[in-house]
Structure 1
Amino acid sequence: MAINDVTLTASMRTNLLQLQSVNDKIGVKQNILSTGNKINSALDGPTSFFAAKSLNQRAGDLSSLKDAMGQSISTIKAADKGVTAIESMIEQARGLTTAAYSALGTDAGSVATR
């Protein structure tokens, strides 16, 4: 027998294997808690893993579309403000034109200008 050999009884070996199994399960649970994912690799459950991967990609695509729609809404709001400002300027010009028209006299030159 070598110096580093350790002899274990059957019950000690069983207890050691059970402790190792418990330790492995703790590691798996800690990984689940730290990542927030029940399935972290294809080894944990291939069907669930690839379904989750597909859903995550779909969620990313939808998020990109949502961002694009938000930018489009901002563009439309800016265009609406521009159109409103142009309408206001047209109303001001209409008012100035009406005021200038009413300020014209009744003489021949003013009548010709109308």
Structure 2
Amino acid sequence: MTGFAIATDLLFADPNLSTPALYQQSGVGSEREVRVMRRNPDRMVEFGAAQLVSDSVVLDVRVSDCPELAAGDRFEIAGEIFTVQGAPQRDRERLVWTVELLPWWPDPHADPDY
């Protein structure tokens, strides 16, 4: 294990920097407990000639916790469910994924009781 891997593990174990989450691949199957670092930066969004500031949710998660992370995977953090938007990006050392999340909304056509 490299020094970077050891440092990354220590950072994700720190409760002041990371938070527990449940990870579910493709939104199906069993959930797995992971630790994540959540950020909520403002994003500039262009709408016609206007530029708007929009909230976003960005997550860092260890590659070792979610080796096959992909668009459509889900995270539950403090009771909120999010889905991975777009392709996750790994850091230079290939230790941490960075992903943008969207709030998850159930598909009313998939559940007849919805």
Q: Same fold (TM over 0.5)?
A: no
The structure whose Rg is larger is 1
> Given the two structures, how large is their TM-score scaled by the length of structure 1?
0.21
Higher strand fraction: Structure 1 or Structure 2?
2
Structure with the greater relative contact order (CA < 8 A, sep ≥ 6): 1 or 2?
Answer: 2
Higher helix fraction: Structure 1 or Structure 2?
1
